[in-house]
Amino acid sequence: MSIKTRPATSLRRNISFLGRWLRNPKAVGAVVPSGKSLAAAMVAEVDREAEGAIIELGGGTGNITAALLHASFPIDDITVIEREPAFHRVMAQRFPEVRLLQGDAVDLRRLLREAGIGKVKAVVSSLPLLSIPDRICLQIVAEAMAVLDENGVFIQFTYGPASPVSRSILARLGLHGRRASWVMDNIPPASVWRYRPHHAAGIGEPETEVAEALHQRSA
């Protein structure tokens, strides 16, 4: 399939990203978009042989999406979730043939159900989890795990060495996290993390019901 993209310079995208960060730094989480090396490191954690959709959370200006397409993942397997209207417009202009849903990651199951998306093999997140309140972070991670296939993986990057998903949330959801890679040439340097249920990761601890955490959304 021929993939059509509309031109958008890196400078314009970075200025747009910076503008959004200045208006709402907690929601954006970084001054500039993730670099090509970081995007490639994120995409490298997606199983090319597995079946299922790839869900990107927080499309931003599209560097992760571009990396997925550059790695020759089928365009029909990619769905991008973007809440911010400005970034949604950038993504729609840059990738007119990619499925793009405007909405919040806390509503991920509903968004995918309404879009008719079934089996999911990977959720790739650029959301600023460390800037998000624990209650919301719990909801986002729980929603991601709820849509994933039993062998699926949640992939998240962060600036710094520690897991961007707290120990309390990992314990609550019965998840195992590990640092998959360091990307030292990103600005700032970043690390990529993978999260899976304990049983899928080969860890002998019981899995906590994800549904229990989802029920707390109305609390």
Looking at the whole model, is its pTM more than 0.85? no
- Cα–Cα distance between 83 and 40 in angstroms, integer? 23
Phi, psi (5° rounding) for residue 61?
A: -100, 0
pLDDT at 11 over 70: no
**Each residue's pLDDT tens digit, 65-91:** 999 999 999 999 999 999 999 999 999
Q: Which tens digits make up the pLDDT trace of 124-156? A: 999 999 999 999 999 999 999 999 999 999 999
pLDDT in tens, 17-68: 444 434 554 444 444 456 899 999 999 999 999 999 999 999 999 999 999 9
55 bridge partner residues: 79, 123
Question: CA–CA separation, 63 vs 173, rounded Å?
Answer: 29
Rounded to the nearest 5 percent, the helix, strand and coil shares of the chain are: 40, 20, 35
Domain ranges of the chain: 10-218
Q: Where are the beta strands (DSSP E) in the chain?
A: 53-57, 78-82, 99-102, 120-125, 148-158, 175-183, 190-197
CATH class, domain 10-218, is alpha beta
